[in-house]
Amino acid sequence: MNFAVFASGNGTNLQAIIKALKKGKINANLALVLSDNKEAYALKRAKRAKIKTVVVEAKNFSSREDYDAEIVKILEQEKIDFIVLAGFMRIITSVLINNFRNKILNIHPALLPSFKGTHAIVDAFNYGVKVTGVTVHFVDEKMDHGPIILQGSVKVEEDDTAETLEAKIHKIEHKIYPEAIRLFSEGKIKIEGRKARIA
């Protein structure tokens, strides 16, 4: 199976995925890294690993739907079977979701359904939770909502700061995202209603 990673920023999750691929832990082909941000460090990581990259900038499109239609065209050209969102900072529309129903994975740095949104780590920290974590889930029309594939928990210690907590969360992300991709690419995840069951 061919897959694409979408990333807007640093790309540490992309790096963890590349590492897992190199170690033979994921039996799929990372055919494309797509970004909306030409400055994304993720693109440098992809190029270093000799993975094809493409930048699609929002400013060239008049609506989110048009943007996503262009992406669908690119994904079809590259024969992409599934998509991995790794810090892709755009809301995606039904144009993309309908073309890749239950074939888009996302990682969110909190234990969903708690702390949705773009500031999940700081939100959880400021709320004073004692346990937070990471969620890998399928993407549907609602933000941070689709069936949950894997979760990993992180304890918030008394001496943690938002920064130390973030570091702990990233560490778990880099473990569970490659694992979720492995399970998906091996056809081991079955969706039944809200539940993603792992065979």
- Residues annotated as catalytic are 108
Distances (CA, A) of 99 to 26, 88, 92, 125, 184: 24, 18, 12, 36, 17
Q: Which of 3, 4, 5, 7 binds ligand GRF (CB under 6 A)?
A: 7
Q: Which of 36, 123, 144, 173 binds ligand GRF (CB under 6 A)?
A: 173
Pick the piece of the chain touching ligand GRF (CB under 6 A) from 7-15, 63-71, 136-144, 157-165. 7-15
How far does the chain reach from its first CA to its final CA, in angstroms? Answer: 19
Q: Which is nearer to ligand GRF, 108 or 168 (CB)?
A: 108
Alpha carbon distance 199, 196 (integer Å): 10
Measuring CA to CA, which residue among 137, 154, 157 is closest to residue 146?
Answer: 137
* Interaction mask 96-135, ligand GRF, x per CB under 6 A: -----------xxx--------------------------
Q: Which is nearer to ligand GRF, 106 or 185 (CB)?
A: 106
Work out whether the CA dihedral 59, 61, 67, 73 comes out positive or negative: negative
Alpha helices, DSSP H only, in 5-84?
12-22, 41-48, 64-77
Task: Tell me which residues in 133-162 interact with ligand GRF (CB under 6 A).
Answer: none
In whole angstroms, the minimum distance from the beta carbon of 75 to ligand GRF comes to 20
Beta strands 53-55 and 131-138 are unpaired
In the complex, which residues of this chain contact ligand GRF (CB under 6 A)?
7, 9-14, 86-87, 107-109, 173
